[in-house]
């Protein structure tokens, strides 16, 4: 699956799409693939603060839990409630099935994230290690 | 050694296959200075007959042939023989936790049935596969409520079993949970005014027991209203599970922590028993303990699996909802069989008998000279508090001479109840026993009790 | 059933020319398995399995006594007859695998024979009916059993004090770490962190967390053992304890155990031992002698009390004298008159961890086991457990990868590295073992071995049973090479095939409801959880 050029990525396998001052966060195809069938998403509430590089929630498969790390700092403005009843959307459409939207408090943090090319290089190195 | 299936030849052949000269070669990784060279100082190997004799002798030094009026968290109920006949089947007794669903469907289906029956009894939406016991279950419920509400203050009724409260203290002290204790009123129920004052918007939960430690049934609906008004959860601990046969289920609670020992589990000097947590479905992710769920196999046939395990320690490690692993599965199976034997009609009939026995005992003992039934007008199940002019220890000593074990003195935990004791009458107590106890209380010679 | 891939037990597929290899399953044959619905589905008003004795006191009016606290009905509790109950649970029982049926090589679980005399003595009237609050003068037999067990366990572990109160292994860990905490607090600083090796059971970090400690991970060295240099680097004045499983979860004894203890003690930290693997040590060496300060035992592992499908267990905690003041109340003491009494006056206690005295019925069983063995029997038991594990290792290491070549004691851990090349993982091999008539080993644990096959045969297996296991494992290895498909869809011979665990977790159905079709509720994403679908045809 292609990694959209317009997104930014973390080494913890989250993606970030920025539109104005709002960042939309999800997990990458690589992440969903290594987790397997996702059964539950634990997301924060609207109004909660998130911090770049810090855990803001988790995704669960049947026998694994993976923490979610926020790519940016800010305040949660929306949570994707569709994932409450259909967490499998993350498996089928990882780059569309967003988890939270964040009002960015430090937009400059985006510059530190990986481009799609950098991220693809990063995951091919990860795969080579295994 | 009779449990070991090997001949000396087998052992020699196997050592040869491994390529070592002696068994001690396999223990070389243990530094020599720590290897035992002699025998452990424990009793010598015994034959089966000697073992049975030894335990018979131990059993004979316990209270045999006594009529008992003890309850207080461990209840004397008749255990239908079918229970032990079934739980001693090796396939239940000697299997492990049902992680391999394809060869564990028996245990899994039974747990699913257990979970369903616990939901029906408690009025909750989901129930787990068991906790160690009622005391640890209550403590785990409080920690669960703290996670759900993200608050760290708890309000605890003083009429929760004192040993449950001791366990809660041990659990809570390193969780940063603060506690406020709320006493009881003249009716033996929680002091509603004090309760209302104790609950704040920092309160994670209110923990009560109903029937409470005095046997008095609390007004769960009214207490729930006070708790919910401040966004706190209500946890109802139930020590005498049989009460659910006739007492309204605590449906307004958010979490019910049940000790199911009454359901066909031997008293066995205090354990093993069967705790179980039940709650509203929305709290499922914060619930500790194993859960069994229904699903289908690859061919679409119904089957059962352990599910939502990501809450548990083997996956989430230090972030788990609890460190519990081994639970009380076989005891849960006993209770499941018990509930099946008595069922919808029998549970009520049996509970009604307990109600009648306790009512008769309370009235009869309470009417003896010098005795007074406390909290007399409150609804009760099968326990009651009797205040006597004579010190309970002295009274109990006189009862023991007549082969009767009287009520549990309460002063140790409730200094204000200096001469009070907690009595319990179940279907196991005959009218003759109750009358005989009343005679002793009255200072008369008790009629001889016939023990067949 | 997926019959197309099942080979009748009396033939081998390799006889059929050209078809891929299918192993010969000599341990098992298929036989009739009774179907059985849920007990609620057999219920019908008016059926009964009980008859109460006549009420010998005046009947009461429940509504009058209880008022608005009276219950109206008991919902869906079943109504069935006694014979139906016997058949129901007997049929269910036949769907389980059990030690009584065969080898159960779950690593770290010590699935050994559960002697029947244990069950018998635990049910003796004066023991099973003893009330925890009956007078001590009428409980001397019950208390003597506890005392004898305590004395035996102290001798076996080389420890100086003990509590039997914890209800299971994890509960024992909780108790033990609270003792550690109380000890440090008494010296002015509870300290902040607990060191836990990466090979540890999940209960260890979970326990440290609920006791208010931070978990610090300790990486194993290339032999799967504690890395002493790393340990020295990490231990400081804020380290409360190291939680060590010895032998480790790969079955290896920490041969530098005394140095580990020294490193900890030099900084005032304590050594906690997870006794899950005590079956490798009993009668051969004692933790108290090699520097352990506090440890728990699992009576349901090492001391033969039954696992019962997941419990009850019992997790006594043994410790050195320095921790004795902090033990949970009450503590059993012997009076000068040789009677026993419970001492509740313990100012430094950590408090109770459970009501009453613990899972008493398990004490009875464990003591019966110890008495049946005696010192020589316990030693022989340990030797046989270690012999069996090493025998399996020597018989299988040419076909399964052995990631750690270190000498192992009671269990052996292979990895699925070779089989994974054909797409077969440890979990698949485990499922295929079921077809061969064995319970799987422990899969995917410990975490330091990717694709782990963790095998603990215990002393209870005869050479014949072990040889059959070896044969099954070798045939599966061959199937992996020649016919991996059969493994990927195993088991084939069970009454149900692999379960849809994803559906179970996404749409949890945790209780029965009338008229609900489980398969629809569980498998269809249209139905919200727990809402009954209308069709009942799946039953």
Given a contact cutoff of 8 angstroms between Cβ atoms, the answer to whether C450 and C426 are in contact is: no
CA distance B298 to C369: 43
pLDDT score for C518: 54
> Higher confidence at residue C223 or residue C378?
C378
Among chain C residues, the shortest Cα distance to A39 is held by C506
- The answer, for B282 touching chain C at a CB cutoff of 8 Å, is no
- The answer, for B197 touching chain C at a CB cutoff of 8 Å, is no
Given a cut of 50, whether residue C174 has pLDDT beyond it is yes
Given a cut of 80, whether residue C14 has pLDDT beyond it is no
Contact C202 B320 (CB under 8 A): yes
Q: Identify all chain A residues contacting B316, using CB atoms and an 8 Å cutoff.
A: 65
Check whether the bond before C312 is cis (ω within 30° of 0).
Answer: yes
Q: Indicate whether C135 and C55 sit together in one domain.
A: no
Q: Indicate whether C227 and C367 sit together in one domain.
A: yes
Given a cut of 50, whether residue C531 has pLDDT beyond it is no
Mutate to test the interface with A, among C502, C508, C529 (most CBs of A within 10 A): C502
Distance from the Cα of B131 to chain A's closest Cα (Å) equals 22
- Is C462 contained in some domain? no
Q: Indicate whether C212 and C326 sit together in one domain.
A: yes
Question: Alpha-carbon Rg of chain C, whole angstroms?
Answer: 26
Among chain A residues, the shortest Cα distance to C528 is held by A85
Q: Indicate whether C44 and C167 sit together in one domain.
A: no
Q: Identify all chain A residues contacting B310, using CB atoms and an 8 Å cutoff.
A: 39-40, 60-65
Looking at the structure of chain C, the number of domains it has is 2
Q: Which fold has domain B81-337?
A: 3.40.640
Start-to-end CA distance of chain B, whole Å, equals 41
Structure tokens at B215: 């046997």
Q: Indicate whether C51 and C187 sit together in one domain.
A: no
- Which residues make Cβ contacts (< 8 Å) with residue B155, sequence separation at least 6? B179, B180, B181, B182, B195, B198, B199, B203, B205, B206, B207, B232
- The answer, for C528 touching chain A at a CB cutoff of 8 Å, is yes
Residue B270 binned pLDDT confidence (cut-offs 50, 70, 90): very high
Contact B310 A42 (CB under 8 A): no
CA distance B161 to C155: 35
Q: Identify all chain C residues contacting A86, using CB atoms and an 8 Å cutoff.
A: 525
Among chain C residues, the shortest Cα distance to A83 is held by C506
Contact A39 C506 (CB under 8 A): yes
Residue from C168, C363, C300, C353 nearest B269 by CA:
C363
pLDDT score for A127: 81
Q: Indicate whether C254 and C309 sit together in one domain.
A: yes
List the domain boundaries for chain B: 67-78+344-441, 81-337
Given a contact cutoff of 8 angstroms between Cβ atoms, the answer to whether B321 and B288 are in contact is: yes
Contact C505 A62 (CB under 8 A): yes
Give contacts of C 462-521 with A, CB under 8 A: 501-502, 505-506
Given a cut of 60, whether residue C538 has pLDDT beyond it is no
Among chain C residues, the shortest Cα distance to A87 is held by C506
CA distance C509 to C507: 6
Contacts of B among chains (3+ CB pairs under 8 A): A, C
- Tell me the residue ranges of DSSP E strands in B82-129: 126-127
Residue B414 binned pLDDT confidence (cut-offs 50, 70, 90): very high
Given a cut of 80, whether residue C1 has pLDDT beyond it is no
Given a cut of 50, whether residue C2 has pLDDT beyond it is no
CA distance C107 to C407: 16
Given a cut of 50, whether residue C311 has pLDDT beyond it is yes
| Range of lowest pLDDT (A124-128, B34-38, C518-522) | C518-522
Mutate to test the interface with B, among A38, A45, A55, A60 (most CBs of B within 10 A): A60
Buried residues in B321-340 as b, exposed as e (16+ CB within 10 A): bbbbbbbbbbbbbbbbbbbb
Mean pLDDT of C19-44: 94
Q: pLDDT per residue over C445-465, tens digit each? A: 888 999 999 999 999 999 999
List the domain boundaries for chain A: 8-106
CA distance C449 to C428: 16
Q: Indicate whether C211 and C351 sit together in one domain.
A: yes
Q: Identify all chain C residues contacting B356, using CB atoms and an 8 Å cutoff.
A: 55, 57-60
∠ CA B60-B65-B69, rounded to 5°? 120
Q: Which fold has domain A8-106?
A: OB fold (Dihydrolipoamide Acetyltransferase, E2P) (2.40.50)
Q: How many residues does chain C have?
A: 539
- The answer, for B28 touching chain A at a CB cutoff of 8 Å, is no
- The answer, for A64 touching chain B at a CB cutoff of 8 Å, is yes
Q: Identify all chain A residues contacting B315, using CB atoms and an 8 Å cutoff.
A: 63-65
CA distance A34 to B382: 56
Structure tokens at B126: 């989901």
Range of the domain at C153: 121-371
Given a contact cutoff of 8 angstroms between Cβ atoms, the answer to whether B74 and B444 are in contact is: no
Least CB–CB distance from C171: residue in B109, B113, B132: B132
Given a cut of 50, whether residue C271 has pLDDT beyond it is yes
Count residue pairs from A and C with Cβ separation < 8 A: 17
Given a contact cutoff of 8 angstroms between Cβ atoms, the answer to whether B300 and C197 are in contact is: no
Residue B314 binned pLDDT confidence (cut-offs 50, 70, 90): confident
CA distance B12 to B38: 22
CA distance B281 to B145: 13
Least CB–CB distance from C498: residue in B126, B290, B298: B298
Number of H helices, E strands in chain A: 4, 9
CA distance A46 to C48: 54
CA distance C478 to C22: 9
Q: Identify all chain B residues contacting A61, using CB atoms and an 8 Å cutoff.
A: 310
- The answer, for B249 touching chain C at a CB cutoff of 8 Å, is yes
- Is C337 contained in some domain? yes
Residue from B244, B248, B246, B269 nearest B259 by CA:
B244
Mutate to test the interface with A, among B147, B310, B311 (most CBs of A within 10 A): B310
CA distance A109 to A111: 5
- Is C383 contained in some domain? no
- Is C43 contained in some domain? yes
Given a cut of 70, whether residue C309 has pLDDT beyond it is yes
Start-to-end CA distance of chain C, whole Å, equals 17
Residue C524 binned pLDDT confidence (cut-offs 50, 70, 90): very low
pLDDT score for C11: 44
| Range of lowest pLDDT (C110-114, C372-376, C471-475, C535-539) | C535-539
Say what the ipTM of the complex is.
Answer: 0.97
Contacts of C among chains (3+ CB pairs under 8 A): A, B
Most confident of A36-40, C321-325, C513-517: C321-325
pLDDT score for C62: 95
**What is the CATH classification number for the domain harbouring C367?**
3.40.640.10
**The CATH number of the domain covering residues in B67-78+344-441:** 3.90.1150.10
pLDDT score for B446: 66
- Is C361 contained in some domain? yes
Among chain C residues, the shortest Cα distance to B339 is held by C77
pLDDT score for B451: 52
Structure tokens at C111: 């699935």
- The answer, for B8 touching chain C at a CB cutoff of 8 Å, is no
Distance from the Cα of C107 to chain A's closest Cα (Å) equals 19
Mean pLDDT of C115-141: 97
CA distance A63 to C399: 28
* Conformational region of residue C346, where left means phi above 0, alpha means psi within -120 to 50, and beta covers everything else: beta
| Range of lowest pLDDT (A93-102, B83-92, C225-234, C444-453) | C444-453
Mean pLDDT of B190-215: 98
In tens digits, chain A (130 residues) has pLDDT values of 789 999 999 999 999 999 999 999 999 999 999 899 999 999 999 999 999 999 999 999 988 889 999 999 999 999 999 999 999 999 999 999 999 999 999 999 999 999 999 999 999 998 887 6
- Integer CA distances (angstroms), C348 to B165, B339, C41, C341, in order: 18, 42, 54, 19
CA distance A88 to A38: 6
């Amino acid at each position: 699956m292609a990694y959209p050029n317009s997104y930014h990525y973390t080494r913890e396998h989250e993606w970030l799409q920025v539109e104005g001052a709002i960042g939309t966060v999800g997990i990458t195809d690589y992440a969903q693939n290594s987790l397997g069938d996702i059964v539950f998403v634990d997301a924060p509430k609207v109004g909660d603060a998130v911090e770049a590089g810090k855990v803001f929630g988790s995704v669960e498969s049947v026998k694994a839990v993976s923490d979610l790390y926020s790519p940016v700092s800010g305040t949660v403005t929306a949570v994707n409630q569709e994932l409450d009843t259909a967490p499998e959307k993350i498996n089928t459409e990882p780059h569309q099935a967003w988890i939270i939207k964040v009002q960015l408090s430090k937009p400059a943090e985006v510059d530190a994230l990986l481009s799609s090319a950098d991220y693809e290089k990063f995951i091919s190195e990860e795969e080579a290690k295994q | 050694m009779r449990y070991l299936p090997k001949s000396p030849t087998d052992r020699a052949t196997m050592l040869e296959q491994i390529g070592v000269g002696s068994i001690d070669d396999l223990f070389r990784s243990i530094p020599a200075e720590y290897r035992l060279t002699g025998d452990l100082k424990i009793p010598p190997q015994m034959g089966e007959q000697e073992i049975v004799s030894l335990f018979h002798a131990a059993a004979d030094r316990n209270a045999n042939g006594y009529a008992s009026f003890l309850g207080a968290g461990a209840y004397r109920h008749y255990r239908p023989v079918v229970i032990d006949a079934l739980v001693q089947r090796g396939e239940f007794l000697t299997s492990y936790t049902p992680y391999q669903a394809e060869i564990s469907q028996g245990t899994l289906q039974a747990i699913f049935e257990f979970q369903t029956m616990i939901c029906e009894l408690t009025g909750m939406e989901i129930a787990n596969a068991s906790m160690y016991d009622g005391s640890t279950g209550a403590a785990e419920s409080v920690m669960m409520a703290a996670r759900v509400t993200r608050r760290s203050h708890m309000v605890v009724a003083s009429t929760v079993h004192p040993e449950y409260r001791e366990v809660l203290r041990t659990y809570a002290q390193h969780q940063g949970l603060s506690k406020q204790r709320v006493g009881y009123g003249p009716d033996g129920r929680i002091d509603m005014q004090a309760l209302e004052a104790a609950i704040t918007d920092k309160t994670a939960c209110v923990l009560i027991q109903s029937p409470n430690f005095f046997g008095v049934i609390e007004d769960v609906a009214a207490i729930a209203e006070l708790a919910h008004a401040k966004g706190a959860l209500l946890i109802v601990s139930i020590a005498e599970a049989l009460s659910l046969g006739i007492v309204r289920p605590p449906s307004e609670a958010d979490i019910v922590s049940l000790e199911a020992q009454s359901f066909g589990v031997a008293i066995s000097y205090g354990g093993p028993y069967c705790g179980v947590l039940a709650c509203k479905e929305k709290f499922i992710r914060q619930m500790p303990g194993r859960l069994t769920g229904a699903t289908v196999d690859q061919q679409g046939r119904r089957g059962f699996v352990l599910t939502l395990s990501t809450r548990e320690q083997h996956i989430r490690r230090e972030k788990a909802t609890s460190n519990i692993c081994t639970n009380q599965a076989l005891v849960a199976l006993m209770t499941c069989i018990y509930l099946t034997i008595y069922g919808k009609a029998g549970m009520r009939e049996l509970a009604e008998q307990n109600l009648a026995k306790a009512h008769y005992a309370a009235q009869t003992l309470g009417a003896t000279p010098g005795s007074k039934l406390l909290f007399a007008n409150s609804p009760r199940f099968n326990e009651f508090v009797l205040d006597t002019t004579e010190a309970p220890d002295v009274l109990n000593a006189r009862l023991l001479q007549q082969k009767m074990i009287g009520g549990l003195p309460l002063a140790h935990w409730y200094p204000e109840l200096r001469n009070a004791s907690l009595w319990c009458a179940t279907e196991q107590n005959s009218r003759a026993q109750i009358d005989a106890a009343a005679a002793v209380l009255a200072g008369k010679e008790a009629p001889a009790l016939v023990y067949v | 059933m997926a019959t197309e891939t099942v080979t009748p037990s009396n033939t081998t597929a390799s006889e059929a020319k050209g078809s891929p290899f299918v192993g010969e399953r000599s341990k098992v044959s298929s036989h009739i398995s009774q179907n059985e619905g849920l007990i609620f589905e057999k219920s019908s008003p008016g059926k009964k399995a009980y008859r109460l004795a006549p009420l010998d006191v005046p009947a009461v009016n429940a509504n009058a006594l209880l008022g608005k606290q009276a219950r109206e009905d008991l919902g869906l509790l079943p109504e069935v007859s006694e014979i139906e109950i016997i058949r129901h649970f007997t049929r269910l029982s036949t769907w389980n695998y059990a030690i009584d049926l065969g080898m159960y090589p779950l690593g770290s679980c010590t699935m050994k024979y559960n002697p029947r005399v244990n069950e018998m003595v635990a049910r003796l009237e004066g023991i099973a009916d003893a009330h925890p609050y009956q007078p001590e003068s009428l409980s001397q037999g019950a208390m003597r059993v506890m005392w004898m067990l305590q004395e035996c366990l102290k001798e076996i572990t080389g420890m100086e004090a003990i509590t039997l109160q914890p209800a299971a292994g994890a509960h024992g860990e909780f108790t033990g770490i609270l003792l550690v905490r109380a000890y440090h607090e008494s010296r002015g600083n509870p300290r902040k962190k607990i060191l836990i090796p990466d090979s540890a059971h999940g209960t260890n970090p979970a326990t440290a967390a609920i006791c208010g400690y931070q978990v610090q991970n300790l990486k194993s060295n290339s032999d799967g053992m504690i890395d002493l240099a790393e340990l020295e680097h990490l231990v400081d004045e804020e380290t409360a304890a190291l939680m060590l499983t010895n032998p480790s979860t790969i079955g290896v004894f920490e041969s530098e155990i005394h140095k580990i203890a020294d490193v900890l003690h030099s900084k005032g930290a304590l050594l906690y031992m997870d006794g899950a693997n005590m079956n490798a040590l009993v009668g051969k060496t004692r933790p108290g002698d090699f520097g352990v300060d506090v440890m728990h035992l699992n009576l349901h592992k090492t001391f033969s009390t039954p696992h019962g499908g997941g419990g009850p267990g019992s997790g006594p905690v043994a410790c050195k004298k320095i921790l004795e003041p902090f033990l949970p109340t009450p503590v059993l003491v012997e009076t000068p008159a040789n009677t026993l009494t419970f001492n509740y006056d313990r100012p430094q206690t950590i408090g109770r961890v459970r009501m009453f005295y613990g899972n008493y019925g398990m004490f009875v069983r464990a003591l019966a086991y110890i008495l049946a063995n005696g010192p020589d029997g316990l030693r022989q038991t340990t030797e046989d457990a270690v012999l069996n594990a090493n025998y399996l290792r020597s018989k299988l290491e040419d076909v399964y990868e052995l990631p750690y070549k270190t000498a192992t004691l009671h269990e052996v851990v292979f990895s699925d590295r070779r089989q994974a090349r054909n797409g077969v993982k440890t979990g698949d091999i485990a499922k295929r073992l079921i077809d061969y008539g064995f319970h799987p080993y422990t899969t995917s644990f410990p975490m330091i071995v990717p694709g782990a096959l963790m095998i603990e045969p215990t002393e209870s297996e005869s050479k014949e049973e072990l040889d059959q296991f070896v044969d099954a494992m070798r045939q599966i290895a061959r199937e992996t090479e020649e016919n991996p498909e059969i493994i990927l869809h195993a088991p084939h011979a069970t009454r149900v095939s692999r379960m849809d665990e994803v559906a179970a977790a996404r749409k949890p159905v945790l209780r029965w409801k009338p008229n609900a079709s489980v398969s629809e509720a569980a498998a269809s994403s249209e139905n919200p959880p727990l809402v009954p679908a209308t069709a009942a045809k799946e039953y």
